[in-house]
Amino acid sequence: MRLIRRWGPWLLLVICLALPVLVKQPAWLDMLQFTFMYAAMSVGWDIMGGYAGYPSIGHVGFFGMSSYVAGLLLVHFGVNIFASALLVGLFGSLVGAGLGFISLRTRGPAFLIVTLVFALTVQMLAENLNALTGGTSGLYLPLLDLPPDVVILPFYYAMLALTVLAVATSTFIRASRFGLGLLAIREDEGKAEGSGINTALYKILAFAVSVFFASVAGALHAQYLNYVDPDLAFEFIIGLNMVVMALVGSRATPWGGVLGAVIMFPISQLLVYTLPDKFSGQVPLVELGILLILIPMFLPDGIIKSLERWAERRRRRPRVPSTDTFAPAPVGAP
Amino acid sequence: MTQVLVQGLVFGLLAGGVYALMSSGMSMIFGVMRMVNLGHAAIMLTGSYIAVTLLQQLGVDPLLSIPIIVAAFLVVGALFERGVLGRFIGGDLALAVLVTLGVANILEGGQGVIWTSRFYTIRTGYSFNTFNLFGLYIPLIRIIAAAEAAVLLVALWLILSRTNLGRSIRATIQNRSVAQLVGVNVARVTMIAFAIGVAMAGAAGPLMGMLYTWYPDSHWLWGGKIVAIIILGGLSSLRGALLASMILGVAEQFVTLGIDVRWAPMVFYIFLLVVMLFRPQGLLGSVNRGLA
């Protein structure tokens, strides 16, 4: 078990690095690329939604905003998106910190509402500022100058790198004083504040880190589609997926989002492609909706934590029945 | 100029009445449960769809469909609170909020399957009649919608101020544990208040449907407006929600008349951000209410 914990992640990384050599079909690489994208965003979401216990439903706003920022940088200044993605991510964090300053100085639901309204606001700006964004007809980006059979590889490795960065950040935060402070905020914000934690600052920082990953992913995704429009960039399903994947995997764990994405993304794809056309457009919505009700009711801790608890119970249970307890003799025995 | 100002004011106040109906239910649900009901607008749209279907299939006037919707939504709301949402009270409210988000998705997806993604609106025989008030032509449906909203809001106010149930609800909003201490059955009161809130959302549906066009995805737009209203009003303050509805209704009309209808929802978002910056407890909210 300890061996898996120590070397498992590295083994997984090596496998992921080598996969494009073995798997050549673009459809599979496309699915893996998206799985990494969601894994990174979900792990990022969890830093705010899991550790600090403040669920955001507006991360998709950062995803979409960054799609536009990176797209506009490319169209107007010719900046390659792979070069600008990290900077666009930092810009997202800066906006996140500003939004946090507005909504996180107080406790409670204001944050959730402000994140929702932020996503709606940025989408509306993208729709209505025609001169800048092209309005509802969208923004066409120049294609990458690569042959079609390898064009997916840069995205594959970039999203993989983003996932690794997200898991590493989350692991680091979890082990740090900062992470401990966030967990304290989730448990009891009043007491956390009383014990000397600057709760507002902690929450704002956590949110800034949290949206970084959605922002970078949004920038890369714009180039992946070679196209940005208000409906695609701000598709609410993207934001919902982050939340549900973190819930499925387990909140407040570095790997929860990864596990959630690995389980959920392929299943959603399968459902979309196998169900009749009449339903397929609505399937992801209904599927995520049902999960959002069932998981909190029946598996509130997610898969990882539930498994850990199960393993813990198993480990404590003695293997050999202890000798100081005897079963009562069967009735009627001689 | 005066014409525009008067028109903006009158239209804004009439729209504000409908907004008040939409948001008062959400405000009350937040009050008793300390939880933002993200499904509120999707529930409202369900009411709109039911009304338009009753009108098209059976010829039921949308105003007559309101009592039917209220009765049905009271039952469904109570069952949902008892079966699902009630479990999370006193526990992890973040999960409860996500459950209501799930409700919004299921409703939106279900509406997309049943009614498809095309635009709907409720057209009745009197949809294009106007009413002449001192030279200002006001569409009759705007007056009807505002009047109907006023009737329902007065009914809610009577329940809250004149009955024992209303006193229990107000006590639970003010302080849940103390209300329990003095003998209020807070679990039952919460269930009833949630059911009333859901029914108010449903009742707003036909009125919204007479005034605007909508499709399943519209609930995000309406949800954004409603949350802005209840934040401006002070979350669990019903009077605050009423005041905020009027302010935002008028401000929205001025933007529509003066700038462009496309920017109208922005009024709500800007108000929300400004309020969060300078008066996080809202207009009529108290400082320590927003916990959890």
Lowest average pLDDT, out of A319-333, B11-25, B109-123, B208-222, goes to A319-333
Contacts of A28 (CB under 8 A, 6+ apart): none
Model confidence band, residue B116 (pLDDT cutoffs 50, 70, 90): confident
Position B76 scores a pLDDT of 96
Q: Residue B292: pLDDT above 60? A: no
Distance CA A94, CA A257 (A): 23
Lowest average pLDDT, out of B121-135, B151-165, B206-220, goes to B121-135
Determine, for residues B109 and A128 on separate chains, whether the beta-carbon distance falls below 8 Å. no
> To 5 degrees, how large is the angle CA A65–CA A53–CA A91?
25
Position B291 scores a pLDDT of 39
What average pLDDT does range B231-250 have in this prediction? 88
Report the residue of chain A nearest B275, measured CA to CA. Answer: A102
Select from A105, A247, A300 the Cβ nearest to the Cβ of B280: A105
Query: pTM, whole model, 2 decimals?
Result: 0.90
Q: Residue B67: pLDDT above 60? A: yes
Q: Residue B289: pLDDT above 80? A: no
Select from B101, B265, B276 the Cβ nearest to the Cβ of A57: B101
The 3 state secondary structure assigned to chain A is CHHHHHHHHHHHHHHHHHHHHHCCCHHHHHHHHHHHHHHHHHHHHHHHHHHCCCCCCCHHHHHHHHHHHHHHHHHHHCCCHHHHHHHHHHHHHHHHHHHHHHHCCCCCCHHHHHHHHHHHHHHHHHHHCHHHHCHHHCEECCCCCCCCCCCHHHHHHHHHHHHHHHHHHHHHHHHCHHHHHHHHHHHCHHHHHHCCCCHHHHHHHHHHHHHHHHHHHHHHHHHHHCEECHHHHCCHHHHHHHHHHHHHHCCCCCCHHHHHHHHHHHHHHHHHHHCCHHHHCCHHHHHHHHHHHHHHHHCCCHHHHHHHHHHHHHHHCCCCCCCCCCCCCCCCCC
Position B233 scores a pLDDT of 87
Looking at the complex, report in whole angstroms how far the Cα of residue A260 sits from the nearest Cα belonging to chain B. 16
Determine, for residues A128 and B262 on separate chains, whether the beta-carbon distance falls below 8 Å. yes
* Terminal-residue alpha carbon distance, chain B: 46
Q: What are phi and psi of B71, to 5 degrees?
A: -60, -45
Contacts of B201 (CB under 8 A, 6+ apart): B22, B25, B26, B40, B41, B43, B44, B47, B73
Report the residue of chain A nearest B104, measured CA to CA. Answer: A289
Looking at the complex, report in whole angstroms how far the Cα of residue A258 sits from the nearest Cα belonging to chain B. 20
B136 or A256: which leads in pLDDT: A256
Report the residue of chain A nearest B221, measured CA to CA. Answer: A120
Position A324 scores a pLDDT of 52
Distance CA A220, CA A155 (A): 7
| Reported ipTM | 0.89
Position A50 scores a pLDDT of 92
Position B90 scores a pLDDT of 80
Distance CA A164, CA A152 (A): 18
Distance CA A94, CA A75 (A): 23
Q: Residue B286: pLDDT above 70? A: no
Select from B94, B95, B220 the Cβ nearest to the Cβ of A120: B220
What average pLDDT does range B140-144 have in this prediction? 88
Alpha carbon distances (Å) from B209 to B44, B47, B81, B138, B155:
10, 9, 26, 17, 22
pLDDT tens for A76-122 read 998 899 999 999 999 999 999 999 998 888 777 888 889 999 999 99
> To 5 degrees, how large is the angle CA B43–CA B44–CA B48?
115
Give A279's contacts in chain B (Cβ within 8 Å). 113
Position B175 scores a pLDDT of 87
Determine, for residues B92 and A296 on separate chains, whether the beta-carbon distance falls below 8 Å. yes
Sequence letter at residue A89: G
Structure tokens, B93 = 């409210």
Burial class (CB in 10 A: 0-12, 13-18, 19+), A266: middle
Q: In this structure, are residues B240 and B20 in contact, taking their beta carbons and an 8 Å threshold?
A: no
Lowest average pLDDT, out of A39-53, B49-63, B99-113, B253-267, goes to B253-267
Distance CA B214, CA B211 (A): 10
Kindly give the parts of chain A with pLDDT less than 50: 333-334
Determine, for residues B105 and A109 on separate chains, whether the beta-carbon distance falls below 8 Å. no
Give A127's contacts in chain B (Cβ within 8 Å). 262
Distance CA B77, CA B74 (A): 5
